[in-house]
A and B are shown apart, each in its own frame.
Chain A
Amino acid sequence: MTIRTSITVNGKDTSREVEARTLLVHYLREELGLTGTHVGCDTSNCGACTVLLDGEAVKSCTVFAAQIHDCNITTIEGAAQADGSFSPVQEGFRQEHGLQCGYCTPGMIMASTALLTENPNPTEEEIRHALEGNLCRCTGYEMIVNAVRWAAENPNFTSGGAK
């Protein structure tokens, strides 16, 4: 069975006729070509596919596209600021070297963005708790926590335009 679903993604209205079984992550990657959202474990464990659904972090491998018509999705492609500057979280990951291979990074950045929206000044423990659904096989998390702290301390970061 196919079904028409209309989802706002990074501020743009999208609408596609998709199979009912289409997962949000496949809608983003294959229908819209937004391949910044990664498929990691595909079993709701690793968080690499994390996007924002109406501002809240969700795992896009565990949501059907058909279920969320008329919702707002933000992916890593929509994380930067309007002038093209990195968001404070993105810049934090750059400054603090919060990544090595980069596979988990889009999910880490979206989960961290959701955290800082709700709690602009989290403790280290709160950061670790908020990121418990995101696995990184490279860094050991220390520098990821530092990256989120950097973003919390520099909420007004801007580079004055695209790099």
Chain B
Amino acid sequence: MIPAQFDYVEATSVADAIRLLAEHGDEAKLLAGGHSLIPLMKLRLVTPATLIDVTHIKELSYIKEDGNNIVIGALTRHRDIEESDLVKKHLPLVAHVAGEVGDPQVRNRGTIGGSLVHGDPAADLPAAALATGATMVIAGKNGERRISAQDFFVDFLETDVQPGEILVAIEFPKHTDAGWAYEKFVRRAMDYSIVGVALQLGAKPGVALVNMSNKPHLAVSASQAIGKGAAIADVLAVINDDTNPPEDLNATVEYRQHLARVLTQRAFATASK
């Protein structure tokens, strides 16, 4: 499978990428690690006229501590997040989830920003961003703006990133020494989740579901229940609130909702260990 023809340009900085986005308009796509975009291009589900390659923008690949936050540059690879001592200490859920994306070859190329802007409800990292209460930093010609992970995901493969804008960083509040778990239900090791549950406990708890809606899904009622110290049974009773799971060869709607309850229960058991 070979993608349709496109023009290729390389951005050397964030300002350069924003300039190129303005110049090439709606038919241009940013290319980062390419592990969501290139497969879609090979299937010709996406046929951008121009690819703006941002992989060489070194300033967007970093992990740093900033007060109560850990800030991760959008072009940081899954592998670097998985192995980062800083992320493992303050955001163990995020480090673990980064290590659950695809397989080692995918993690060597794929970037956190690329995964998040792809907005796939079946992907791992959007759930981690939702459960931990992350904030997205988006740059455009008028400077930077911030938006919560919850508002960032708009619809199936659609985020709040507007034409001409680029996601540059993700700010995660620290969750040091708090319980967490990621339960991923798959048939083969490197598959997308049939259903997944990302659970962050502690002072700012959150629970997010993978593949349970048309977009990455924060289980708002369940997150609030955990925050109020509800019993696990009461959290499970509302875990499927507002979900809209797909039905496919792997699972019916009812089976996915069943899995969401079972995996959430398992997540609590894992998190308390």
A interface list, Cβ under 8 A from B? 1, 3, 19-21, 23, 26, 42-45, 47, 50, 53, 56-59, 61-64, 66-67, 111, 114-115, 129-130, 132-134
The answer to whether B7 and A56 touch across the interface, beta carbons within 8 angstroms, is no
Closest to A44 in B: B39
How far is B83's CA from A56's CA once the two chains are assembled, in angstroms?
14
Contacts of B8 in A (CB 8 A): 1, 3, 20, 64, 66
Contacts of A56 in B (CB 8 A): 79, 108
The answer to whether B42 and A57 touch across the interface, beta carbons within 8 angstroms, is no
How far is B7's CA from A67's CA once the two chains are assembled, in angstroms?
13
The answer to whether B7 and A20 touch across the interface, beta carbons within 8 angstroms, is yes
Chain B's nearest CB lies how many Å from the CB of A74?
A: 14
User: Which of these, A42, A53, A111, A129, contacts B42 with CB under 8 Å?
Assistant: A42
B158 is an interface residue with CB less than 8 A from chain A: no
Contacts of A64 in B (CB 8 A): 8, 31, 34, 38, 51
B231 is an interface residue with CB less than 8 A from chain A: no
The answer to whether A42 and B103 touch across the interface, beta carbons within 8 angstroms, is no
Chain A's nearest CB lies how many Å from the CB of B185?
A: 16
Contacts of B5 in A (CB 8 A): 1, 19-21
B106 is an interface residue with CB less than 8 A from chain A: yes
Give 5 A-B pairs besides A20-B51, A42-B42, A44-B102 with Cβ atoms closer than 8 angstroms: A21-B41, A42-B1, A62-B38, A67-B34, A67-B53
Contacts of B3 in A (CB 8 A): 21
Beta-carbon contacts under 8 Å, B71-119 to A: 79, 102-106, 108-109
The answer to whether B102 and A133 touch across the interface, beta carbons within 8 angstroms, is yes
B230 is an interface residue with CB less than 8 A from chain A: no
Chain A's nearest CB lies how many Å from the CB of B98?
A: 14
How far is B7's CA from A1's CA once the two chains are assembled, in angstroms?
6
Contacts of B104 in A (CB 8 A): 57, 111, 114-115, 129-130, 132-133
